[in-house]
Structure 1
Amino acid sequence: MKTFHCTHCQSLVFFESFVCNRCRAVLGYVPGLREVGAFEGSDEQGWRMLPQASAQTYRRCANYAREHVCNWMVPVEDSNPLCESCRLTRVIPALAKPDNRLYWYRLEQAKRRLLYSLSALHLPTHFDGEGGDLTFKFLEDVSAVEPVMTGHDNGCIVVNVKEANDVERETTRAWAGEAYRTLLGHLRHESGHFYFQHLIAGTRRIQPFRKLFGDERMDYAAAQKHYYDAGPPSDHADRFISAYASMHPFEDWAETWAHYLHMVDTLDTANWSGLTLQPRAQADPGMTDRTPIGRSDFQSLLARWQPLTYAMNSLNRSLGLPDAYPFSLSPAAVDKLHFVHRVITAASKASS
């Protein structure tokens, strides 16, 4: 993700910021410009971006103006009261319940980061045909007998609201033996199922996919039961990017897709921040390549990823925190990541 500055005073701000901490200007993200801008105006008269207060007038997304869970702006000529992100959410949690507003904010925040990455990679969120619109539902358990399962169903990403509860999510992560579990990770994973449906299934890519990931026509329910009964195979680290990826080719693809999004977004953030690594010992890994992520080949991305993750993990350990990147990439996992890179590159060129 790029580095953002307040367009009024040029102070550093975040993608999620509502107000500039320095000049106190109202901030809002404009997806058409991919920019966080400072604004002057009002909800009644409209908002214009500083410093020159451009001719384009915006209004705050309804979930910004009324609910304060969003910071995106909407051009006044757009009749939809919701921004490009919020209008994709079909169901939100009941706000009368304690903590649900916080959980909703966290879910929308993660979703906006996903959408930023998809936009940066020029991946469409709409395809012709059934299940062609990427949508979201944030649902709560109605009973312990039938809990909401986070997943993807024909274009709709469903997330159980309890995943936004840090204690619940960490408990599940520990129970499942997962090294990594985040809201953004969930959304990236489930988006992989959406893009499999439109970029792989029924296309010429299905045979190369099966050579790397396996035959997706194998019984999913049986594979799922076997995974939860017996656990992952003993050699899963040599063949898959995560233990869960070993369950079924669908999950192998989704886990690899999510991992690729982790990589490119983190590398893009490092690039925009001007981060380079120049270790004292020549034999130690360095990172001096500043090629924009969108113009980098896969080998360039991979060459930067290893030293960056080593530095990230070392910094976390210095703070007494778990590794930020608790993975090790096997040659088989790298081959699968390369396939995802080729699919995304081709899809990006087709939609540009």
Structure 2
Amino acid sequence: MQLFQCQVCSQLLFFENTLCESCGSRLGYDALASQLEAVSQDGDLWRPAAGGEAQYRFCDNAQHNACNWLLPAESEDIFCIACRHNRTIPALGEADHLGQWQRLEMAKHRLFYQLIKLNLPLPTLADDPDHGLAFDFLADPPGVGAPRVLTGHDDGLITLNLAEADDAAREKLRTEMGEPYRTLLGHFRHEIGHFYWDVLVRDGHKLEQCRAVFGDDSQDYGQALQRHYQDGPPPGWQNDFISHYATSHPWEDFAETWAHYLHIVDTLETAKAFGVRIHPMNAVDLQADITLNPYGAGAVEGLIEAWLPLTFAVNSLNRSMGVGDLYPFILTPAVIHKMDFIHQLVQRTLPDDQPAA
């Protein structure tokens, strides 16, 4: 992610900040300008605190401290481009629900920051009632033995279990399922991958090319998952897949690879914003000056050449602190080939499938 700076006092800011901790200015994110703006109140509206003619309103979810995004004053919407995709939010009067929903929204807004920068389609249910992108944030029903809410995607609807916003519960699940990585942002990036498989692959005339890279998605999905949970990943899976869950079905392989592509692009943008340089002693092959625009055009190899030295460095720093690797995954040539498909798909450089002769 890019760095943000208060226009009033030059204090560095985090994307989620609602107030500048230095000068106290109110902050709002202008998604159209990709700018965290210091604003001052002007009646019922807000203006840039450093001067300017723009007028804004805050997203209606700002009243719950669940959003800090701005809308143009003339907009007919009450929700920002991220929040207008919410179909269901939890009952905020119940214990812990508000805080958990706020954490979900923080991760979701980081996701939308990327989707907007990648210029990906974001149809709402109003735009497309049958296949528009929507979110249900649901809590497990009370009572022993009641069915749990399953996180997943179904034809544009992404459901997230509110319990995932509980760090202890999420870590317990991560350990039980043998996952090296499980975060809210990771969930959002994975599930949105399923949505864009529908939009960019199935409906975008790229299905045969995708099958040539990820395998035949027409195999029974339910049976594939049952087999995966019963038998586990095949021997040597690390050579061809980014995670063991990616081995379960080509749809999951695509979504897992898509999520890792977003991990890489976002982290490289942050590293570039901080001017990160990797120049380890006596290791020329791990040197990197991270200056590329990860959202720009170019071959995926440029991303990988910057990513591998960066992850080696941050994993080493994490180990010095006695914590797990920041990026505990291996990018093999086969995985990079899959990531190249995602990269070309996002960059709109893949031709349409050739019609059958």
Please give the range of the TM-score, normalised by the shorter of the 2 chains. over 0.9
Provide the rounded CA distance (Å) in 2 between the counterparts of 1:51 and 1:130: 41
Specify the code of the residue in structure 2 equivalent to 1:40: S
Tell me what 1:8 maps to.
Answer: 8
**What are the within-5 Å matches in structure 2 for residues 161-310 of structure 1?**
161-295=162-296, 296-310=298-312
Provide the rounded CA distance (Å) in 2 between the counterparts of 1:155 and 1:347: 24
Decide whether the 8 Å contact of 2:276 with 2:290 is kept in 1: no
**What are the within-5 Å matches in structure 2 for residues 125-136 of structure 1?**
125-126=122-123, 131-136=130-135
Provide the rounded CA distance (Å) in 2 between the counterparts of 1:45 and 1:258: 40
Decide whether the 8 Å contact of 2:92 with 2:98 is kept in 1: yes
Superimposed CA distance per residue, residues 26-69 of structure 1 (whole angstroms, 9 cap, x where no aligned partner)? 11101111100101115x431101211x21211222211x2112
Tell me what 1:59 maps to.
Answer: 57
Shift in Å, 1:280: 2.4
Specify the code of the residue in structure 2 equivalent to 1:57: Q
**Would the alpha carbon gap of residues 131 and 271 (structure 1) be closer, same or farther in structure 2, given more than 3 Å must change?**
farther
Tell me what 1:137 maps to.
Answer: 136
* Structure 1: segments with no counterpart, 5+ residues: none
Shift in Å, 1:319: 1.5
* Structure 2: segments with no counterpart, 5+ residues: 353-357
Decide whether the 8 Å contact of 1:121 with 1:344 is kept in 2: yes
Shift in Å, 1:79: 2.3
Provide the rounded CA distance (Å) in 1 between the counterparts of 2:61 and 2:350: 30
**Would the alpha carbon gap of residues 184 and 301 (structure 1) be closer, same or farther in structure 2, given more than 3 Å must change?**
same
Provide the rounded CA distance (Å) in 2 between the counterparts of 1:275 and 1:50: 31
- Decide which of 86, 91, 95 is 2:92's aligned counterpart: 95
| Deviates most, 324-333 or 284-293 | 284-293
- Decide which of 303, 312, 315 is 2:314's aligned counterpart: 312
Q: Percent identity?
A: 42
Tell me what 1:74 maps to.
Answer: 71
1:156 aligns with 2:150: no
Shift in Å, 1:297: 2.3
**Would the alpha carbon gap of residues 196 and 111 (structure 1) be closer, same or farther in structure 2, given more than 3 Å must change?**
same
- Decide which of 321, 324, 330 is 1:322's aligned counterpart: 324
Provide the rounded CA distance (Å) in 2 between the counterparts of 1:349 and 1:37: 39
Shift in Å, 1:282: 4.3
Specify the code of the residue in structure 2 equivalent to 1:21: E
Decide whether the 8 Å contact of 2:271 with 2:290 is kept in 1: no
Superimposed CA distance per residue, residues 58-103 of structure 1 (whole angstroms, 9 cap, x where no aligned partner)? 1222211x21121111221112222221111111111111111110
Provide the rounded CA distance (Å) in 1 between the counterparts of 2:11 and 2:194: 39
Shift in Å, 1:349: 12
Shift in Å, 1:324: 0.5
Shift in Å, 1:347: 7.2
Superimposed CA distance per residue, residues 137-188 of structure 1 (whole angstroms, 9 cap, x where no aligned partner)? 1011125432111001111111000000001100111011001000100010
Tell me what 2:355 maps to.
Answer: none
Decide whether the 8 Å contact of 1:123 with 1:347 is kept in 2: no
Provide the rounded CA distance (Å) in 2 between the counterparts of 1:131 and 1:195: 15
1:118 aligns with 2:115: yes
Decide whether the 8 Å contact of 1:121 with 1:348 is kept in 2: no
Give the secondary-structure state (helix, strand or coil) at the position aligned to 2:337. Answer: helix
Shift in Å, 1:266: 0.5
Equivalent residue pairs, number: 347
Specify the code of the residue in structure 1 equivalent to 2:176: W
**Would the alpha carbon gap of residues 317 and 263 (structure 1) be closer, same or farther in structure 2, given more than 3 Å must change?**
same
Provide the rounded CA distance (Å) in 2 between the counterparts of 1:206 and 1:230: 28
Shift in Å, 1:289: 4.3
Provide the rounded CA distance (Å) in 1 between the counterparts of 2:350 and 2:93: 41
Provide the rounded CA distance (Å) in 2 between the counterparts of 1:46 and 1:347: 42
**Would the alpha carbon gap of residues 204 and 91 (structure 1) be closer, same or farther in structure 2, given more than 3 Å must change?**
closer
- Decide which of 336, 349, 354 is 1:334's aligned counterpart: 336
Provide the rounded CA distance (Å) in 2 between the counterparts of 1:102 and 1:349: 45
Shift in Å, 1:202: 4.6
Give the secondary-structure state (helix, strand or coil) at the position aligned to 1:169. Answer: helix
Specify the code of the residue in structure 2 equivalent to 1:48: R
Shift in Å, 1:198: 1.0
Q: Taking structure 1 as the reference length, what is the TM-score of the superposition?
A: 0.94
**Would the alpha carbon gap of residues 138 and 50 (structure 1) be closer, same or farther in structure 2, given more than 3 Å must change?**
same
Provide the rounded CA distance (Å) in 1 between the counterparts of 2:17 and 2:164: 23
Give the secondary-structure state (helix, strand or coil) at the position aligned to 1:324. Answer: coil
Provide the rounded CA distance (Å) in 1 between the counterparts of 2:78 and 2:301: 43
Provide the rounded CA distance (Å) in 1 between the counterparts of 2:21 and 2:351: 39
**Would the alpha carbon gap of residues 241 and 299 (structure 1) be closer, same or farther in structure 2, given more than 3 Å must change?**
same
Provide the rounded CA distance (Å) in 1 between the counterparts of 2:133 and 2:203: 19
Q: Taking structure 2 as the reference length, what is the TM-score of the superposition?
A: 0.93
